[in-house]
Amino acid sequence: MRNNNRILIVDDTETDREMYRRCLEKGGFAGWTIVESEDGADALAQYRAVAFDLVLLDYSLPGRTGIDLLKDFREDQDYAPVVIITGQGNEGVAIDCMKNGAQDYLVKGEFSAESFLHAVRNALERIEMQKKIARQYESLKNFSHVLAHDLKAPIKRMYSLSDIISDSVERKQYETVDRFFGEVRKSAVLMDELIDALNAYNSLDAADVAFDCVDMQTVFGNLMSIAGTEIEEKRAKVTCDGLPVVRGNAAQLTQLLQNLVLNGIKYSRSDVPTVHVAAAQVDGEWRISVRDNGIGIDCQYFRRIFEPFKRLHGSDEFSGSGLGLATCKRIVDAHGGRIWCESDLGVGTTFHFTLPVPERAAEEKPLVA
């Protein structure tokens, strides 16, 4: 059965690409999607469009050095999910590759299926470990950020409110005490929500999540029950076209759709906030779109809004943790998809994300949702 894992083979010699593909297919990677590319620019475009677990990269491609490409594949992380394959053994090149974050280095002249598969498996294990460490580091960083900034504001506010309350009690102005207690409660709720959001974000990779066939129509129905009161209170109109069955984790996909739909309602100044969820099959994947008639997003922030704690508005205008879209991105990444947005200021925003199509007809029957 096909899984969501992908390997990219980058080599300008067709017979070499064919040899690696065969070794992989015979060596236990038959269920993986193996994509071939014969030049660096195309490989990089493919890599940026869809996440790959590993790139097998020929060191000498026409026009680009292996090290340049390695740096591109590394992007903003400390490691590159890349095994370099060179024409001849050269210790200097090998050291350079490893220094620049490659997982391993193979020499074509010494090629054997066994050593090749050994290098591929080791590299995949190491990458998994490096990803885990990077995520744990990010969680720690987020936690300290929340402690230092976001939790401090409501705590400070509670301090000043308690001063005001004790002053009001002293002056026997009991009518104001009630109001300020209400404000204390609001700050406590804010802290509570922030901690929940951080917890939800950090726990996304805590355990191995099970993937099954998930009916997005049922996910939508569940979401309408969970968020029903909020939708009613805002007098919002939330609709959907027929949604497909996809491969994924039902709980995470519910969280994803919920964050996008509720943002669509929240970031709106319309009397009737309207959100519509639609789906289409594009290039062998499901593309699900969540369109709203809200305030819109300036195009300079299209990428940055997915970073943890990036908020475009103050809490006095729209409340939030700044973790909603970062959580969405983490979920979509874990499903091997992409998420992005299009928007017109003052007109509305559409968030799109892609998810895998279940492979076999038998899988089209949803097991969970």
Binding range to ligand ADP, per CB under 6 A, among 29-37, 38-46, 232-240, 263-271? 263-271
Q: Determine contact, residues 295/267, Cβ cutoff 8 Å.
A: yes
Confirm or reject binding of residue 236 to ligand ADP (CB under 6 A): no
Q: Determine contact, residues 87/48, Cβ cutoff 8 Å.
A: no
Phi and psi torsions of 30, nearest 5°: -65, -30
Residue among 54, 51, 324, 363 nearest 211 (CA): 363
For ligand ADP, which residue of 325, 331, 355, 369 counts as binding (CB under 6 A)?
Answer: 325
Confirm or reject binding of residue 322 to ligand ADP (CB under 6 A): yes
Nearer to ligand ADP, 152 or 179 (CB): 152
Q: How far is the CB of 48 from ligand ADP (least distance, A)?
A: 22
Print the SS3 string covering 156-171: HHHHHHHHHHHHHHHC
For ligand ADP, which residue of 119, 297, 339, 369 counts as binding (CB under 6 A)?
Answer: 297
Which residues, in sequence order, are CB contacts of 344 under 8 Å at separation 6+? 296
For ligand ADP, which residue of 48, 156, 313, 365 counts as binding (CB under 6 A)?
Answer: 313
Binding range to ligand ADP, per CB under 6 A, among 36-44, 72-80, 139-147, 305-313? 305-313
Confirm or reject binding of residue 324 to ligand ADP (CB under 6 A): yes
Nearer to ligand ADP, 168 or 315 (CB): 315
Confirm or reject binding of residue 213 to ligand ADP (CB under 6 A): no
Confirm or reject binding of residue 273 to ligand ADP (CB under 6 A): no
Q: How far is the CB of 152 from ligand ADP (least distance, A)?
A: 17
Confirm or reject binding of residue 190 to ligand ADP (CB under 6 A): no
Binding range to ligand ADP, per CB under 6 A, among 44-52, 81-89, 156-164, 294-302? 294-302
Confirm or reject binding of residue 295 to ligand ADP (CB under 6 A): yes
For residue 32, what are the CA distances in angstroms to 52, 173, 277, 332? Answer: 11, 71, 30, 19
The DSSP-derived string for 126-141 is HHHHHHHHHHHHHHHH
Residue among 7, 92, 91 nearest 50 (CA): 7
CA dist 247 and 369 (Å) reads: 11
Q: How far is the CB of 9 from ligand ADP (least distance, A)?
A: 36
Confirm or reject binding of residue 150 to ligand ADP (CB under 6 A): no
The owner of tokens 């998810």 is 355
Confirm or reject binding of residue 263 to ligand ADP (CB under 6 A): yes
Which residues, in sequence order, are CB contacts of 248 under 8 Å at separation 6+? 211, 212, 214, 335, 355, 356
Binding range to ligand ADP, per CB under 6 A, among 83-91, 136-144, 145-153, 304-312? 304-312
Burial of residue 186 (CB within 10 Å: 0-12, 13-18, 19+) is middle
- Length of the chain as a residue count: 369
Confirm or reject binding of residue 331 to ligand ADP (CB under 6 A): no
Q: How far is the CB of 350 from ligand ADP (least distance, A)?
A: 9
Q: How far is the CB of 324 from ligand ADP (least distance, A)?
A: 2
Between strands 33-37 and 6-10, the pairing is parallel
CA dist 214 and 218 (Å) reads: 8
Q: Determine contact, residues 229/337, Cβ cutoff 8 Å.
A: no
Q: How far is the CB of 351 from ligand ADP (least distance, A)?
A: 7
Strands (E) in 259-345, as ranges, are 274-282, 285-292, 339-344
Number of residues lying near ligand ADP (CB under 6 A): 20
Categorise residue 177: left if φ over 0, alpha if ψ from -120 to 50, beta otherwise.
Answer: alpha
Nearer to ligand ADP, 43 or 325 (CB): 325
For ligand ADP, which residue of 40, 248, 320, 356 counts as binding (CB under 6 A)?
Answer: 320
Confirm or reject binding of residue 294 to ligand ADP (CB under 6 A): yes
Confirm or reject binding of residue 312 to ligand ADP (CB under 6 A): yes
Task: Name the site residues for ligand ADP (rule: CB under 6 A).
Answer: 263-264, 267, 292, 294-295, 297, 305, 310-313, 320-326, 349
